[in-house]
Structure 1
Amino acid sequence: MTPIEWCLSFLLGTIALALLRSSWQRNGSRNAILAFFHPNADAGGGGERVLWVSVKALATQHPNCKCVIYTRDVGLSADEILERVKVQFDITLSKEDVDFVWLKQWRWILAERYPTITLMGQSLGSLVPAYEALWKLRPDVFIDTTGFAFTLVLAKYGFGCRTIAYVHYPTVSKDMLRKVENRVADYSNSSTVTSSVMLSRVKLQYYRFFASLYSLAGSSVDHAMVNSTWTKNHIDSLWNIPQRTSLVYPPCNVGTLATTPLEGREPKVVSVAQFRPEKAHMLQVEAFALARRALQERGVITPKLRLVLIGGCRHEGDWKLVDDLKQRAIELAVVDNIDFIINAEYSRLLSHLKNGLIGLHTMTEEHFGIGIVEYMAAGLVAIAHDSGGPKTDIVIEHNGTMTGMFDLTYECD
């Protein structure tokens, strides 16, 4: 167990045990039930790594606690999910370590159900599977690891649970409000809105209203953990419970990668991120095409230069994004130089990290950036967007030099 994993286990266990002390005194039982609300537990992103490392740590350090995961019912068995965890994260768990409560109503949290007022729709929609989960099994401690803060209110005041939140990313932030106010277009603020003064004003008021509800919901939690300095600054501002908020960096698997030799590298740019719009894979494809063209104009032969996109797909929206990326690669005449590796086995991910040359991460205001840490551990030159967690916690000055590179656009030298 790495120091970060031990710290995560210690803090999560200590907080849970402290919250449970009064209930133990009442009922004399120490077989506490800790339930994680994580409908996408079968996915393969950084949030899932935090979930499964937490479960493994609790099973190891606090065997008297019973771990339960509320997750979507998509036809997978417990054995199949645990096998996927082994393959994708190299984490071994047995059915004795964790139980599952299968959620039939999980589709209420899907963004595509709410083409407008998406944040409000998903947040209110999350109460449906949360109610189903708590009705099927009321735990001693309810732990939200997916960012659905409204579920904390339901668990605490509707079912009498103690509550913990591990926050990867604030659902709404002052940065988002600022973009709407300044009419800046991005994945969460379409050009249709930015081109209209009236629509921008309406959306700004909607964001402000939602932010007030999000703040009320979050402030109810018994203890919050956040994954970066950037996230903590936002949560402290929104939830205003700094005395109940801890900074706990997510587990990064650097032990194996740190021993990787630097020799024998291939001319390969590696990107590790779930296929979601905010990860800005389209920017990576366009930047790669621009780089190849620039090198060719300078007389540099680039037939072996490749871009390797490694990530997980959760649902149809993610798969459509991959199709769009492939189509864009065809248009830019680089499709034969890009590898799309989806829901990869952990061993395959390691192979690319160990023989790649550059690690690319393009999300604006990334909350932390596990992949960037793994790039560095594997000896890749890390290139990240100049914002968020990478800027505050990862790509920093160390011994007089920077640990990686920043940029704000793809037109860098």
Structure 2
Amino acid sequence: MARVAVVHNTLDFHGGADVVCLSVCEALQRDHDVSLFTLSETPPSVLAERFDIDLDARRIDVPSPRGGTAVARALSTIGPVVGPQLPLRSVLVSRFFEREADAFDLAVSTANEFDLSIPSVQYVHYPQFRLNRIPDASGALNPLWSRVAGPARNGFDDVTPLANSSWTADVFERVYGVEPAVVHPPIDPIEPRADWREREGGVVVAGRIAPDKRVLDAVEVVDGVRRRGHDVHLHVVGTAPRSYRRYVERVESAADERPYVTVERDVSRTRLDELLGTHRYGLNLKPREHFGMSVAEYVASGMIAFAPDSGGQREVLDEREDRLFGSVDEAIEILSAAIERDRPPEQSSARFGRARFREEICEHVDRALH
């Protein structure tokens, strides 16, 4: 049994990265002593229950720096004004971890790449440092954060880099000259599921209700499909972190104006699975999604999924032209066409299972330890 530190910037955005973090903790705690270093208001147990992750939170040590919870709360409070500040959170967490690093045999980052002082496995959703090497990347302060906590281009001698998709792996290689192995996030087949003919002809948008997810564009898509004569409705169902509360209010205002749009915030896993298992169509609107866990969940529940024609979600949808779009107008077109065809989906629901994820993560950790 080794002492393993999982390093994660924050659990407060309730998204796919947090599912990966807690799934890694769950996988490793079977054979190792696991501590979780994070800067979060949200306890791991809360998200483990929400995402139906079989984590024994009582066995996870969660060290907290002095004032850490207050800092996390303050960052969430100012989030609507200054943004989520994920690189800053990463820097703070890495500095906190480094004070304790000598007590551990291995670190596992589930919050992208770091310059850490001990051997590590680093799971990259998308590079967070050295963004000047990526065309059109944003972040005026990124050079500062990169100097403080980012690895050098040749700084991966004791690092096992992993990526959530082949697309992300390609971006990472362009930045650092190292090609990560691809370990897709964990998505089990979702049950129970209704037969295609018994499903409602509605659209579900699941995940964080946040500006980068472009949820309001989903409302526009459904408006356009209805103008074409299709009686579809929309369920927006997802987490509503405090940092995005102003955007959530805009989404709820749009729903209040439309009897065919409903918004459900912070629902249970049972309720989400019920919606996914009883509706026909799943829609994602975020371009350049690094993987697209909501898209994978749509597939895992037997829905027909649609997403922008960019990022890792193209892999999830097998690069099908009739599932991918480049604009709101194209989304209206392909969703309308699918409704008119009325054919059930053909993709396997078991491609991204949790057992596969656990096995791959444990293999990489065991190799790094030996």
Return the offset for 1:273.
Answer: 1.8
Distance in 2, matches of 1:130 and 1:209, equals 14
Match among 108, 112, 123 for residue 143 of structure 1: 108
Asked if the contact 1:215/1:239 (under 8 Å) is kept, the reply is: no
Return the offset for 1:224.
Answer: 0.8
Larger radius of gyration: 1
Asked if the contact 2:237/2:272 (under 8 Å) is kept, the reply is: yes
Matched, 1:285 2:248: no
RMSD between superposed Cα atoms in Å: 3.4
Residue type at the aligned position of 1:141: L
Greater displacement, 126-135 / 347-356: 126-135
Distance in 1, matches of 2:89 and 2:40, equals 17
Return the offset for 1:267.
Answer: 2.2
- When residues 171 and 326 of structure 1 are mapped into structure 2, their CA distance, relative to the original with a 3 A threshold, is same
Percent identical:
21
Distance in 2, matches of 1:368 and 1:49, equals 13
Asked if the contact 1:271/1:360 (under 8 Å) is kept, the reply is: yes
Residue type at the aligned position of 2:36: I
Return the offset for 1:115.
Answer: 6.7
Matched, 1:249 2:184: yes
- When residues 281 and 176 of structure 1 are mapped into structure 2, their CA distance, relative to the original with a 3 A threshold, is farther
Matched, 1:68 2:20: no
Greater displacement, 123-132 / 167-176: 167-176
Per the normalisation by structure 2, the TM-score is 0.75
Asked if the contact 1:269/1:356 (under 8 Å) is kept, the reply is: yes
Matched, 1:353 2:281: no
Question: Aligned runs of 1:164-179 on 2, under 5 Å?
Answer: 164-171=121-128, 178-179=135-136
Question: Aligned runs of 1:115-134 on 2, under 5 Å?
Answer: 123=87, 126-134=90-98
Residue type at the aligned position of 2:283: L
1:23 corresponds to: none
Return the offset for 1:228.
Answer: 0.2
Can you list the C-alpha shifts for 1:41-93, whole angstroms capped at 9, x where unaligned?
36532112212222222223x2xx1111123353x6x6xx425412x222223
Asked if the contact 1:395/1:404 (under 8 Å) is kept, the reply is: no
Asked if the contact 1:308/1:340 (under 8 Å) is kept, the reply is: yes
Asked if the contact 1:163/1:223 (under 8 Å) is kept, the reply is: yes
Distance in 1, matches of 2:75 and 2:307, equals 30
Matched, 1:52 2:22: yes
Question: Aligned runs of 1:291-310 on 2, under 5 Å?
Answer: 291-295=225-229, 302=231, 305-310=232-237
Question: Aligned runs of 1:12-411 on 2, under 5 Å?
Answer: 31-41=1-11, 43-60=13-30, 62=31, 65-72=32-39, 74=41, 81-86=44-49, 88-103=50-65, 104-105=67-68, 106-107=71-72, 112=78, 123=87, 126-135=90-99, 138-147=103-112, 149=113, 152-153=114-115, 155-156=116-117, 161-171=118-128, 178-179=135-136, 216-217=151-152, 219-221=154-156, 222-242=159-179, 245-254=180-189, 256=191, 260-295=194-229, 302=231, 305-315=232-242, 317-330=243-256, 333-334=257-258, 336-391=259-314, 393-396=315-318, 402=320, 405-411=323-329
Residue type at the aligned position of 2:181: S
Per the normalisation by structure 1, the TM-score is 0.68
Unpaired runs of 5+ residues, structure 2, are 334-370
- When residues 40 and 179 of structure 1 are mapped into structure 2, their CA distance, relative to the original with a 3 A threshold, is closer
1:22 corresponds to: none
- SS of the aligned residue for 1:34 comes to strand
Asked if the contact 2:3/2:34 (under 8 Å) is kept, the reply is: yes
Unpaired runs of 5+ residues, structure 1, are 1-30, 181-187, 190-202
Return the offset for 1:270.
Answer: 0.4
- SS of the aligned residue for 1:286 comes to helix
Asked if the contact 1:177/1:208 (under 8 Å) is kept, the reply is: no
More helix by share: 1
Distance in 2, matches of 1:343 and 1:349, equals 9
2:347 corresponds to: none
- When residues 209 and 96 of structure 1 are mapped into structure 2, their CA distance, relative to the original with a 3 A threshold, is closer
